[in-house]
A and B are shown apart, each in its own frame.
Chain A
Amino acid sequence: MKELEIKLTGTRNLAETVVEIDDKPVQFKKNQFGSLVCRYQTANDHVNIKVKRLLDVGGLWWFITQLCFFLISILGIFDVRSHEKGLVLDFEAAVDLKTENNLTLRLNRPQADGKAINIETDLGCRELSNGYYLDTHAARTLKRLKFAKICCALATIVIAIGVLMTQI
């Protein structure tokens, strides 16, 4: 059995990043130095590594939930700032294994013409895809949400002024 140690850096939120080796999702754990490390065992001479990024964007119920969060957090004042832009990370690489196998995947920030992930390893590696892609449906949904939040805020302010004026 060959063991492959993968270190993942550059991501703050592991909930959004899914790493699959030979189409099986793998779990990362923090080591003593605080780095995310995964140890994978296989009998094969090659492995296929895929990295995907999950979007915090959904359908109608997600949309309604976000509006509720906006209202609960007092028109977004106490809400957590969202950095979601609808960008999908698509990375796939085939890696040849040796006796000792160490690989570091360094996630980059979303950028126009650069790579999504930099691979640091002395193993033979063939990149099949490596970049950020815009999910147009998600981007459109996020724009609609922004518009809906502005309308909600204006409606709340108008209603509040109306109630105050009737009381006076």
Chain B
Amino acid sequence: MNQQKTLSTPTKTLVRMQVVHLGKILFNLQFIGVAVMMASVLSFIMPAIYYLMLICAAVLSLFILLGYPTFRSLWAGGETLLQVADTLTRSWQYTVPIVAGLAVAAIVCLCFDKHQRHPARITVSVIIAALALFVLFLKIANTGVFA
């Protein structure tokens, strides 16, 4: 290939390209936020599932497992899991607004693209933003003002 020409991109077009690029990054990041948000909202299930699994194991082993110290220490370990679940439960005040913010920011940035519509990305972000806002209102209604 020849090595010659320099053609500079107009500043306005370059800025618009970066805004759209940021929108795509925010779109990807919001999925981490959704995973953390779901963990914080559903964290109360974690200890229940943990103890249920231990009880099933004990029943299936015809309660022989109850004699083993390892099983008993696993049962005692549920206390730590309860503390983790409690911390996660209280973190909804941060995770849910962050997810809503990421989704809205992604939609705004992607709308700057004059040439491509990004229908799939915008639809997914709208659904995530709506879900986050719904969870936020539910949590506020259940717990009152931010604790």
B-binding residues in A (CB < 8 A): 13-15, 52-58, 62, 65, 69, 72-74, 78-80, 87-88, 90, 110, 112, 131-138
Contacts and interface: CB of A to CB of B under 8 A. Distances in A.
Nearest to A134: B3
A87 B3 CA distance: 9
A157 B5 CA distance: 39
A69 B21 CA distance: 9
A79 B24 CA distance: 8
Nearest to B20: A15
B7 interface: yes
A89 B135 CA distance: 49
A69 to B, nearest CB: 6
A62 B28 CA distance: 21
B9 A14 contact: no
Interface of B: 1-7, 9-11, 13-14, 16-18, 20-22, 24-25, 28-29, 32, 113-116
A144 to B, nearest CB: 16
Contacts of A136: 3, 6
Contacts of A133: 1-5
Contacts of B113: 15
A15 B4 contact: no
Contact of B1 (A56, A73, A112): A112
A54 B25 contact: no
A73 B23 CA distance: 11
Contact of A58 (B3, B9, B25, B32): B9
B18 A65 contact: yes
B24 A134 contact: no
Contact of A78 (B1, B2, B3, B28): B28
